[in-house]
Amino acid sequence: MSKQAAADWVETGEEAADQRLEPAYWRTRVFRNSYVRAGKLHRVRGWSAKIQYQGVRRTISLGAVDQDVAAAKAADLFAQLQQAGWPALGSHDGVQPSEPLRPWSSDPRGSIDYWRLRLVERKYRAMPDAKPEFSCRIEHDGAGCYFPLGTLNEARAAEQALEIFNCVTREGWESAAARHRRELTLALFWFGSPFCCTYTTIHTRPGGARRLAKRDGADAVSVNVFVVEPDETVAAGLHGLTSQAPGFACRETFADIGSLRELGSADEPGLLLVNRGLPGFSGEELDACFKQLFRDCPVVAFSTFEDSEQLFNSTAGSHYGYYLHRTPPGRMLHLLEESAAAKHKSRQNTASLSRWVRQYFKKQIDFLTGDPGKDTLPHLTPREHQVMTHLCRGALDKEIAEMLQISAWTVHNHLKNIYEKLGVQNRTEAVMEYLQK
pLDDT averaged over the chain? 77
* Collapsed DSSP state (helix, strand, coil) of residue 55: coil
Which pLDDT score, from 0 to 100, does residue 35 have? Answer: 63
Put simply, whether the predicted model's pTM sits higher than 0.85 gets the answer no
Which pLDDT score, from 0 to 100, does residue 110 have? Answer: 83
What are the extents of the domains in the chain? Answer: 14-105, 135-179, 183-366, 370-436
Percent of the chain with pLDDT over 90: 14
What is the tens place of the pLDDT at every residue in 101-123? 344 335 678 888 888 888 888 87
What is the tens place of the pLDDT at every residue in 23-58? 888 888 888 877 655 455 667 777 888 888 777 778
Domain 183-366, second-level architecture:
3-Layer(aba) Sandwich (3.40)
Q: Examine domains 183-366 and 370-436 and report if their fold is the same.
A: no
Residues of the chain falling short of pLDDT 70: 1-17, 35-42, 88-107, 193-194, 208-221, 316-322, 338-351, 362-378, 436-437
β pairing state of 223-228 and 248-254: parallel
What is the tens place of the pLDDT at every residue in 303-342? 999 888 788 777 755 555 667 778 888 888 877 776 555 4
Which pLDDT score, from 0 to 100, does residue 184 have? Answer: 93
CATH of segment(s) 370-436: 1.10.10.10
